[in-house]
């Protein structure tokens, strides 16, 4: 087995700044935890570090150092939700992983090395993907989960691929690197131990008798001497992710940066499951107004973040916010299996077929859902009722009728008659027909007509009919292209 650990030391800050397109710049920012007088700094950015603000400092002391310091309460629920969504996204790299709350993940990647061209490429791709999502991860690789976690918490290390290579690396780490209670670490330091190697050189029985068997068992798990089963992460059935905006946003185009990160997260979630979605919902939250929902529908299941972002951009171009937005969330339910496309060296029509649904989706996003529709033939001979509007992806039937014009008038237009023939800015010559249509007696919209294909002197073709009932008048019903 080979474990890749992901450590997020700045998770609380990352959640605040994921939706910030411009970056925090020189603004001092800090996250505090606790209530009342027990509020203490949990995390801070570089600008706050330069002001002397440190973790553990009281909030009052931090504000005394800088009146312009921006502070936010730590949201542990949001951190847990972000960790679960990150795990669901990371399942595109391996199906076997476990949460390491409150700020990490452990991925078993031995079976993924060939697929991703080795551990270095896999590690680089994982880090790049998490940074695109707005996180700042640290990673380490070791043959045991606890060993990988010790390495990543202590700093960056080259991958340790074999178990026999792990002990020499672990021995060099300081005692403080052990993930043990502080009182136990103080006891070890009081015994004069400065590194994990000093601890491992002590007799196991004496160490267990003095400090308890838990420490010895923990060290055995770190080094792979004892089995260390990890609780498997249970895949999520639907997707929901949210992020806070660092400031109120009144311009809809400013939401695209935050939306892109949510869509990349959705794409990884779906890619891990070989699935796509046909409906997604963005929710904009406001400080003093109800939330707004933006629904995007697709003709075919899709998971491409760039395509979904283009559709959202089209919608936002004509969308007006009811109030400044302070948060954005993305939800996608009922994912469906999505078959992977195989590239074809010579066949070009498949590419055109794949592009057609995306074109319709772009037009619907820009013009509205009802503005882009398909036309489907129906099993009725009456021209007015021989078609209906449908979704562009619905399959049409072919009743096998004679040629029909593409352009039908909303209502038949009466024509003049001369010598028993119809006139339309001149004489019309009947070239084909009659096609008799007598239909509709059962629903009260019956017709009795003889249809003809007619031509004028300019060689334009028309679809005309003559009523079979008196007064047997001529009508224009369509125009051929």
The 3-state secondary structure of 155-199, one letter per residue: CCCCCCCCHHHHHHHHHCCEHHHCCCCHHHHHHHHHCCCCEHHHH
What number is the average pLDDT over the span 175-190? 89
Do 279 and 324 share a domain, yes or no?
yes
Mean pLDDT of the chain: 88
Rg (C-alpha) for the chain, rounded Å, is 35
- Looking at residue 352, its pLDDT comes to 47
pLDDT tens for residues 331-363? 998 999 987 655 555 555 444 455 767 777 777
- Looking at residue 351, its pLDDT comes to 47
**Both tokens assigned to 234:** 């249970």
pLDDT tens for residues 78-124? 999 999 999 999 999 999 999 999 999 999 999 999 999 999 999 99
Domain end marker among 339, 360, 379: 339
Helices (H) and strands (E) in the chain, counts: 14, 21
The domain tally of the chain equals 3
What number is the average pLDDT over the span 142-166? 91
Do 274 and 421 share a domain, yes or no?
no
- CATH value at residue 250: 3.30.1490.100
Which range has highest mean pLDDT (152-156, 280-284, 349-353, 380-384)? Answer: 280-284
54, pLDDT greater than 50: yes
173, pLDDT greater than 50: yes
pLDDT tens for residues 405-419? 888 898 999 999 988
Domain end marker among 288, 306, 339: 339
401, pLDDT greater than 90: no
- CATH value at residue 212: 3.30.70.270
Do 250 and 195 share a domain, yes or no?
no
**Both tokens assigned to 118:** 């080795």
pTM: 0.76
Domain that holds residue 319: 239-339
Domain end marker among 176, 204, 226: 226
Residue 75 inside a domain? The answer is yes
- Percent helix, strand, coil in the chain (nearest 5)? 35, 30, 35
Give the span between the Cα atoms of 100 and 76, in whole angstroms: 14
Would you tell me how many other CB atoms lie within 10 Å of the CB of residue 186? 11
In sequence order, which residues have a C-beta less than 8 Å from that of residue 224 and are 6 or more positions away? 143, 144, 147, 163, 166
**Both tokens assigned to 260:** 């892109």
């Amino acid at each position: 087995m080979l474990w890749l650990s992901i450590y997020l030391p700045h998770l609380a800050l990352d959640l605040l700044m994921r939706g910030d397109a411009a970056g925090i710049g020189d603004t001092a920012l800090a996250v505090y935890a606790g209530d009342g007088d027990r509020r203490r700094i949990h995390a801070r950015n570089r600008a706050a570090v330069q002001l002397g603000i440190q973790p553990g400092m009281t909030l009052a002391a931090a504000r005394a150092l800088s009146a312009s310091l921006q502070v936010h309460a730590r949201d542990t629920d949001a951190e847990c939700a972000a960790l679960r969504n990150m795990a669901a996204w990371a399942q595109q790299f391996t199906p076997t992983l476990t949460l390491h709350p409150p700020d990490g993940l452990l991925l078993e990647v031995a079976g993924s090395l060939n697929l991703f061209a080795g551990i270095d490429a896999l590690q680089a791709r994982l880090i790049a993907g998490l940074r695109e999502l707005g996180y700042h991860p640290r990673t380490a690789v070791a043959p045991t989960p606890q060993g990988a976690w010790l390495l990543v918490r202590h700093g960056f290390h080259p991958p340790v691929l074999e178990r026999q290579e792990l002990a020499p690396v672990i021995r060099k780490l300081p005692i403080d690197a052990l993930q043990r209670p502080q009182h136990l670490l103080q006891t070890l330091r009081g015994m004069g131990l400065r590194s994990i190697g000093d601890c491992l050189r002590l007799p196991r029985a004496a160490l267990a008798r003095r400090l308890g068997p838990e420490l010895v068992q923990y060290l055995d798990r770190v080094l792979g001497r004892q089995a260390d089963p990890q609780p498997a992460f249970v895949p999520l059935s639907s997707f929901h992710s949210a992020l806070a905006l660092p400031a109120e946003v009144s311009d809809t185009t400013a939401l695209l940066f935050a939306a892109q990160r949510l869509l990349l997260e959705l794409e990884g979630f779906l890619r891990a499951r070989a699935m796509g979605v046909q409906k997604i919902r963005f929710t904009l939250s406001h400080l003093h107004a109800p939330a707004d929902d933006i629904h995007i529908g697709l003709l075919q299941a899709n998971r491409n973040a760039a395509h979904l972002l283009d559709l959202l951009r089209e919608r936002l171009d004509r969308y007006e916010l009811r109030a400044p937005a302070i948060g954005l969330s993305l939800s996608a339910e009922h994912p469906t299996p999505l078959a992977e496309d195989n590239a074809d060296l010579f066949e070009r029509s498949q590419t055109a077929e794949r592009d057609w649904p995306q074109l319709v989706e772009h037009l619907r996003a820009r013009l509205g859902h009802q503005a882009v529709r398909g036309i489907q033939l129906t099993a009725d001979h009456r021209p007015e009722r021989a078609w209906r509007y449908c979704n562009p992806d619905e399959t049409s039937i072919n009743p096998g009728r004679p040629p029909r014009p593409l352009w039908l008038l909303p209502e038949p237009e009466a024509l003049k008659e001369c010598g028993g023939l119809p006139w339309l800015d001149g004489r019309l010559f009947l070239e084909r027909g009659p096609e008799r249509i007598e239909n509709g007696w059962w629903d009260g919209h019956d017709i009795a007509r003889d249809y003809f294909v007619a031509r004028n002197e300019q060689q334009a073709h028309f679809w005309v009919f003559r009523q079979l009932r008196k007064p047997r008048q001529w009508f224009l019903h369509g125009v051929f292209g």
